[in-house]
Amino acid sequence: MQHAPGTSGGVLFKTNEIKSRLDKLYKVRYDKKWQLQYVPALNLIQKNMPEITRFYGIIIKLFFADHTPPHFHAIYGEHVGLFNIETLEMMEGDLPPRARKLVLEWAKTYKSDLTKMWNTQQFQKLPPLE
């Protein structure tokens, strides 16, 4: 048992309980400079995002209440990429090059549909990459 941080010692918690809760909320990874990062777990962030399409194991999702610039999420296993709808550049993420190439190929075809969805906030399913 340890005292909770920032308390005068009156609040105790079990270290394993806290670690278990953090493991559900965050995954740990290292950036390019090998600095530790706590990244919000995918299942919490993207759980409620509507799925636009899926192809070759890649899931494309869009969340209207998300931050700007307009973007969509591509999920491939444990890898994620956030793509700017206007420029189609990957703003954040760690998608493998092959998955990134497939996402870009699909996004070029449906760029206008993605822009319309973001602007009108009206969701629609789109065809997968063939």
Q: Please write down the HEC assignment for all residues of the chain.
A: CEECCCCCCCCEECHHHHHHHHHHHEEEEECCCCCEEEEECHHHHCCCCCEEEEECCEEEECCCCCCCCCEEEEEECCEEEEEECCCCCEEEECCCHHHHHHHHHHHHHHHHHHHHHHHHCCCCCCCCCC
Residues 48 and 106 in one domain: yes
Residues 47 and 87 in one domain: yes
What's the total number of domains in the chain? 2
Residues 64 and 115 in one domain: yes
In a domain, residue 54? The reply is yes
Residues 72 and 102 in one domain: yes
The boundaries of the domain holding residue 107 are 43-120
Between 29 and 1, the more confident residue is 29
In a domain, residue 126? The reply is no
The whole-model pTM stands at 0.65
In a domain, residue 128? The reply is no
> Please, which pLDDT band fits residue 65 given cuts at 50, 70 and 90?
confident
Of these ranges, 5-9, 62-66, 67-71, 124-128, the one predicted with the greatest mean pLDDT is 124-128
> For residue 33, what pLDDT is reported?
56
